[in-house]
Each structure stands twice: as structure tokens, then as C-alpha cells.
Structure 1
Amino acid sequence: MAPLAGIAAHHLAPGGAERFVSTDQRRLPLLERLDRTGVLSLAAEWDPLVAASSSGSPFLTWAWVGSWLDTMGRNADLEVVTARDPASGRLLGVAPFVVKTKRRAGLSYRALRLIGNGAAGPDHLDMPIVADRAVEIGTLLWETLDRDRRWDVIDLDGVAPDGPLARAALRRSTDPGDVVGIACPYLPLAGGWEAVQAGMSRGHRQNIRRYGRKLDTEATGVVERMVTSVGEIGETMSALAAMHQEVRARKGDRGAFSDPALVEFHNAVARRMLVAGRLRLWRLDVAGRAIAVINCFRYGDTVAFYTTGFDAAWSRYGPGRRIMATAIRGAIDEGATEFDFLRGHEEYKQAWGTRLRHDIRLRRPAGDKGRMLWLLRRVAAPLRRRGGRPST
């Protein structure tokens, strides 16, 4: 029987809080589409749901989601549906999406995206659903969203490939669209720092030692420390933003702190992650001033590296390499079994002896306008590659 076969023929109105229930004897979840107030009211239930799911990630926690809603998503057009146990009221799952209006080739269209996604670039995203009902409820939530569809394109970036969202969204292999793998390197820590060193390239291992000794010898007041108080977050995040943007600008990149909205968001996340016990914000100080900062988050047995920056004036001492080593050793010392480098298979990550796994980005048209846009995209792709008009 199809997952929705026993549900009353009633659509959940966008932006409302309407409900429908099972009309047969199965204990189908109670579904509810939430407005912004309803979504914010989930704060106390959100993290317990994530903990009960098989999709753990710092980017699924309320520290991330709530910060995004309060900053970059302040005016977002939310598309959120919850599933609850009809008897106990327990939250069983959430479909946490947003509809974003965009333009392509002069045409306006609406894209379905995940809450907290976009410029912030989170990874390992999913629909948080209790693990023992993930397939059933994931399919139910996805089909509910699809039936009341008000978007033209699905654009889901940084999705965990084996979670309920990927399974539900990819269940029809004949749908048009594309799925692209996103490389996410990680470093096992079970063998301790000695094992990590053994997995590095020889040159990388020697540089960590050489430049570490050089800094300790030639500078005074060299201290590696983790930020543990809310009062230090503002100054440390400001230093991180300035150093990160300077390095990125030299490479021609936009950077993670490129506009005030992103800065506000990252500061909000840091504060919430600290309160939740997940923030791993490390500083490398010389005479009381940060010359390198690395921002990481802990979830379960994993510490995830999110962003970093260093003072280019100190580059001859390898501060970026050193602060990364500090964060990895810190993760080992607190019993973490994995250091997650997140998306991007850059050379500096490979130097640590990382292994590789992949998230996915799923893009797919929905409805007539979406299919037209998808066709335009397919036609335009050869143009972009050749830099001109297609031959006739």
C-alpha cells in the first residue's frame, strides 16, 4: 500500500497549521505544516529528535537552524512539515525546507532548499526523523511536500547520501535532474596523534615540527587555547573573520564572512554552539593577540572543521597548519574518533592523510516552469563551456 493511501484527502495549506490524520486502522503520524511561529516553537524538541535520528550532524542541530532562522533566514519563505505520534504527541520527524525566489535567463522561479543552506555551506544535511521509522516517515513527509508543491526547482545541496531525505528524493530513478557528489574528507583519530602523524606526508609532518619550533623560539607569549566563555566570542570571531577574508581575497575567493548577514550568522552560531557544548573555537595567540583561529563543532564522536583564518604577516611560521594541528590534537584529547574536514578535497586537507566520502547535491525540475528552466540550463551548458554560441 502506498504511504499516503490511508490519509484523508486534505491538503496542508502553505503557511498554515492545518492537520490531517489517518482514516484506517494504521497509526500513521499526525502531519502539520508550520508557519514561522510554529517552527520556532520546536526549539526544545529539535535536538532530541536529531539525537534519535540516524542523521547526526552539527548542521542539523538547533544551534545552526535557530541561528539561521534568526539571521539569514529572518524573512525566509518556510516550507516545514512535522510528523508526530497521534497518541503521545512526540515529534517523530521534520521536513525542514525553505522556498527561495531566484532568477535565471531573466525568468523568476522558486527553488526548494534546505533550511540553513546557501552561502553558509553546511554538510551532511537531512530530514531529522526517528531512526526506527525513517523510511516510512521520510517518504510520507516528502510526498506531502510534493503534493502541495509551490516551487519550480528542487535544489538540495550537502545532503547525506544514505539518509531518509536522499532515499525519498531519489526513489524515482526516471525523474529528470542530476545528482553530483560532494567530496568530504575526514581523518580517523582512533590511533591517536602518533597514528595521525604516521598518515601524513613526510614533508607535512616535518613542516609542522619545524615551523612550530621556529615560532616558539622567535616569538614570545605563544599560546594555543580554546575559547570557553561567551565574552571572548565576539573578539575571536572578529579576528577570525578579518584573517579569513584577507587570505581568501588574495586567492580571489568570496570568503565565509563576505557580507554583514554572514558575519551576524556566524557569530550567532558560535554563541549557540558554545551554550550547547559543541563549539571548538581554537586560537593561536602571540603576546595576547590571535595570529590564527579555527572554528570547529562537535557532534557525537566527531569534531567537524568549519572555517579558519590566519594572519598573513606570520605566514613564515605556518600558523594555519599549526592551528589545524591544535584542533586535531584537541579532538583526540577529548576522545573524538573522527575529525571531519567537510566539503572540498583541497591539497592542504589531503596532506593530513585524509580518507574520502561524499555528500550529494540533487537538482531537479518540478512542474512546467521547472522543466522549461531545466531545458534552458541544458542548452546553455555547452555555451558556457565554449564561451560562445553553439555551432549550427
Structure 2
Amino acid sequence: MIVEIVDTMDGFDQLAQNWDEVYLADPHARYFVSHRFLRRWLRAFGGQWFVLAAKPTAKSKYEAFLPLRLRTYARPDGHCVSEILMAGNYGADYTGLVALPARLNSAMPARAGALKLMHWHQISFDYVDAGDMRYRELLNHFADPAFRISSEFRVNKRDNVNNLVCPVVHLPGQWELYLEQLSANTRQKLRRLLRAFEADQSLTITQPTAASIRDDIEKMNALWLTKWSDRKGVERAQRILATNRQMLLDAFANGHLFMPILRQNGQMVAALATMLDPLKRGANFYMTGRDESFEGPSPGLLLHAYSIRALIEQNFVTYDFLRGDEPYKALFGTRLEHLQCLRVTTRSGLNLGNGIEARAAATVLALATAAHRQGRFRQAAIGYGQVLTQNPDNIDALYRYGQLLQYIGQLQSARRLLGRARALRAKSALPETTDVASAPSEPAPGNRPAVH
């Protein structure tokens, strides 16, 4: 099995048809690992990502994809380490791999081998299907004293919601057949709710148009923010909304957004955004916002019931409430599906092989430069050293490390690094630059800080 790395959007786009074929064949693959969703998410994310794409021979089609991303940060001691996460974190409720079921055993050793050649201190398999044994098979290849394997629970302590549980409704072909799946009390409640809505002339349910979509999303976001900003914090809530805004706009542009809006006398009372999966005919409830002062029929129950009825008519087969076992979801006749969060961590706490990934070099250099500017010379020196170990010809790392050594009085080493930086710069015809790292004011003679 050959494993190739795809890490450009052009390369990712070329996988679309092949990916769709594998995605349709994989019973564990859900919307958030579809090519359609990941393309939107990776564009919005804009960070370091890559896909491990596996195929039997050089001329074969790919038979398995593992979409990943890289997060790099500095430890307190200055060593920069990287974590490999699922590509969808933290915009997707489900993550994981996509593979032909028949290729399970042959793909895993190759994937594990590719991961062991990389430099990371942790791999996080967050929110993957708990019933999918492929992850355990993959982790078996890390059953080595150098690694620690663990799992995590994700229960929200504030309201005791288990975020590793996903309530899913399996839709029959008719609305009445769906209602028969519910308890008598819920069936009557939903019928009364829809009748009350239809009888109230002040209430309407509309869908966004191309002219209104941006304004509709902003108004829904404002309602969501009113409820959640205190709990999540304003800054974090704004980051969530910025991501969601782009995701929803892209989904709308591609015809994959179902967003009923409840209005009273023309004013938005509530909106419910659902991502549609046209390949597997699945609907995924993504977010909602509602006016808590509205005193009419329960807007949440109404919009979910309206959505389920409309999507049954459009031949969708699942309505997924996504992560969280909030009690209201059980009213809709859901079945619980379970996720897991798994970890592989190096016991040393350092990157595997003590190196850094080439794609992480720019981040490590930026972290080292920030430490340099703040006078944390030992941390900066370690970061610069990591960059130069990965690429001894990195001109910026040579120059900045040389500046640092010159400042602390290690003049011979400084001259060697700065001379090499200038030689490489001259050879590459790049202009000389001094706008690199600003050190603190000059220390008194004999009182220079030490790197080691």
C-alpha cells in the first residue's frame, strides 16, 4: 500500500470524485468527512493541514483518506512540539478517516508507518465513531513503550450533557409514518404545534434567498450570541461565529443549507441551520438562534418538526442532531450513536524523533522570534535550533539566532551564523534585511544573560 501526502487545495480538489466514491462505500463515514464539507472547512481554517491518501499501486485509485491538521506550540522550556489532529477539529461534530471497508487491514500498517515518520508529540483522534474498529487497529501499531495510548470523556459538567453521544433520527418515507415512531404524547404535541403555527397569521417560516442570506445569518448569530456569550466568553463566541458564518455561506452557495426562519410579523424569532449531505441523503442540525422573549409556540420544537417533515418530502433518510444528548432531542425518536476521543502521546513529551515537521518550521520560527523579542533567550535559542536542525539553510533562523548570540556576547558563534546567513542571502540574491528581531536594551558589561 502506497501512502501519499496531499497538502494543497489544488491537490485536494483533484481527489473529489475518488473521495466521493470511497465516502459512499464507507458505512462509518459521515458528512463532516465528506469532500464537500472538508473543502469548505479547510478553506475557512487556513492553517496547516494534509491528507494521507493510500492506494495499492501507483496507478490505482486511492482507497483510503485520513485528513489531518497540525497544531504547533512552544512548551515552557522552549521546545516546540506539534499535535496532529483530525482535519475537522474544531468545526466538525464528527471526524475521522474515509476508507473502502475491504481495504481495512492493508491500509492501517501503511498509515501507521507514515505517521511514525513524522515529528509530533501527540495524535488526537477526536470524535471518531466508537463502533469503528479501524481506530483501534491503527492504535495497535503504536503499542510500544515509546507511546502512551489513552481515551477521554467529554461530559459537560455544567449541564451533564455527554458530547460523545449523537442522537440521530432515521427517517421513513412519509411524515405520518415518522409520527408513528414517536410516543403518543410527542406525536400529539408536534401536531398541535404545527396546527398552532398554521393558524397564527402573524407567523411565517421562510428560507433565505441569495439577497438575504448574509443578513439572515447575522441575525441568527446575534440571537445565538445573546444566549451563549456569557457561557462561552465573548471572544471565543465571536471566533465560533466567524467560522460558522463562512461555513454557512459556503453551504448556501453550494445548495447544501436548509435554514428555516420563523418570523413574527416579519421579524426573525428563530432560525435553524442544517447542513445537507446530498450523497448520503443526510441532514445535520448545525446551529440555531432564537429570541428568548418570544411567547408563542416553542420555536425550537416547531422548526425541528418543520425541518423533519420537509426533509422527508425531499427523500432524506437521516436527521442528525449531532453531538450532545440534551433531553429535548429524545422527543424526536432518536437513536443514540456513540463517539470516542483517543490519544497517542510520546512518553518523552517531545516530538517523535526530536525534530519538527517542515510544514511547522514557519510556526516554530515565529514562536522563537516572539520569545527573542520578549527577552526569553533560552527559549528562543531552542526554537531557532529546532528550525536549523530541520533546515540548516534557513536564512531567517540563521540571522535571528546570530543576532541573539551577538547580543549575549557569544561573538564567535554569532559571526559564524551571521556570515552563513549573509552568504546564503547573497547566493540567493535576496536583499539584506535587519527587521528581524528586536532585543531588549543593551545589558551592562559582564551582566549579559546566558542561553544555556
Q: Match of 2:245?
A: 267
The answer to whether 1:139 aligns with 2:109 is yes
The answer to whether 1:322 aligns with 2:302 is yes
Residues 230 and 271, structure 1, Cα contact 8 Å, conserved in 2: no
Aligned-residue offset at 1:64: 2.1
The answer to whether 1:311 aligns with 2:288 is no
Between stretches 107-116 and 170-179, larger displacement belongs to: 170-179
Q: Match of 2:322?
A: 342
**Identical pairs, percent:** 21
2: distance between equivalents of 1:98 and 1:87?
25
Q: Match of 1:380?
A: none
Q: 1:231 to 1:91 in 2, by over 3 A?
A: farther
Q: Match of 1:68?
A: 41
The answer to whether 1:223 aligns with 2:204 is yes
Aligned-residue offset at 1:87: 4.8
2: distance between equivalents of 1:165 and 1:245?
38
Q: Match of 1:377?
A: none
Q: Match of 2:274?
A: 296
Task: Name the amino acid aligned to 1:144.
Answer: A
Residues 282 and 317, structure 2, Cα contact 8 Å, conserved in 1: yes
Q: Match of 2:7?
A: 35
Superposition map of 1:1-392 within 5 A: 28-29=1-2, 31-36=3-8, 39-42=11-14, 44-45=16-17, 46-71=19-44, 73-74=45-46, 76-84=47-55, 86-102=57-73, 109-118=81-90, 120-123=91-94, 125-145=95-115, 147-163=116-132, 165-171=134-140, 176-178=149-151, 180=153, 182-190=164-172, 192-201=174-183, 204-220=186-202, 222-227=203-208, 229-249=209-229, 252-253=231-232, 258-259=237-238, 261-299=239-277, 300-369=280-349
Task: Name the amino acid aligned to 1:326.
Answer: Y
Q: Match of 1:390?
A: none
Residues 63 and 269, structure 1, Cα contact 8 Å, conserved in 2: no
1: distance between equivalents of 2:150 and 2:298?
43
Task: Name the amino acid aligned to 1:329.
Answer: R
Aligned-residue offset at 1:336: 2.1
Q: How many residues align?
A: 334
Aligned-residue offset at 1:184: 0.8
Q: 1:34 to 1:322 in 2, by over 3 A?
A: same
Aligned-residue offset at 1:66: 1.8
Residues 108 and 138, structure 2, Cα contact 8 Å, conserved in 1: no
Aligned-residue offset at 1:102: 4.9
SS at match of 2:99: coil
Structure 1: stretches of 5+ with no match in the other structure: 1-27, 372-392
SS at match of 1:368: coil
Between stretches 174-183 and 88-97, larger displacement belongs to: 174-183
SS at match of 2:149: coil
Residues 104 and 134, structure 2, Cα contact 8 Å, conserved in 1: no
2: distance between equivalents of 1:288 and 1:56?
40
SS at match of 1:86: coil
Task: Name the amino acid aligned to 2:334.
Answer: T
Residues 122 and 158, structure 1, Cα contact 8 Å, conserved in 2: yes
Q: 1:208 to 1:236 in 2, by over 3 A?
A: same
2: distance between equivalents of 1:369 and 1:89?
38
SS at match of 1:314: coil
Aligned-residue offset at 1:331: 1.9
Q: Match of 1:384?
A: none
Normalising to structure 1: TM-score of the pair? Answer: 0.73
Q: 1:356 to 1:97 in 2, by over 3 A?
A: same
Between stretches 207-216 and 325-334, larger displacement belongs to: 207-216
What whole-Å deviation, never above 9, does each CA across 1:323-358 have from its counterpart, x for those lacking one?
A: 111111122111222221111000111222322110
Aligned-residue Cα RMSD (Å) equals 3.3
Please identify the structure whose Cα radius of gyration is greater.
Answer: 2
2: distance between equivalents of 1:341 and 1:143?
36
Task: Name the amino acid aligned to 2:122.
Answer: V
1: distance between equivalents of 2:112 and 2:119?
13
Aligned-residue offset at 1:34: 3.2
Q: 1:278 to 1:48 in 2, by over 3 A?
A: farther
Q: Which has the higher helix share?
A: 2
Aligned-residue offset at 1:132: 3.0
Q: 1:43 to 1:136 in 2, by over 3 A?
A: closer
Task: Name the amino acid aligned to 1:332.
Answer: I
Structure 2: stretches of 5+ with no match in the other structure: 155-163, 352-452
2: distance between equivalents of 1:200 and 1:212?
16
2: distance between equivalents of 1:105 and 1:194?
60
2: distance between equivalents of 1:86 and 1:173?
25
Aligned-residue offset at 1:298: 2.7
1: distance between equivalents of 2:246 and 2:65?
23
Q: 1:188 to 1:104 in 2, by over 3 A?
A: farther
Q: 1:248 to 1:219 in 2, by over 3 A?
A: farther
Residues 111 and 153, structure 1, Cα contact 8 Å, conserved in 2: yes
Aligned-residue offset at 1:156: 1.7
2: distance between equivalents of 1:233 and 1:246?
20
Task: Name the amino acid aligned to 1:269.
Answer: M
Task: Name the amino acid aligned to 1:278.
Answer: H
Q: 1:51 to 1:215 in 2, by over 3 A?
A: closer
Normalising to structure 2: TM-score of the pair? Answer: 0.64
Aligned-residue offset at 1:171: 2.9
Between stretches 233-242 and 344-353, larger displacement belongs to: 233-242
Task: Name the amino acid aligned to 2:34.
Answer: T
Task: Name the amino acid aligned to 1:66.
Answer: R
Aligned-residue offset at 1:235: 2.2
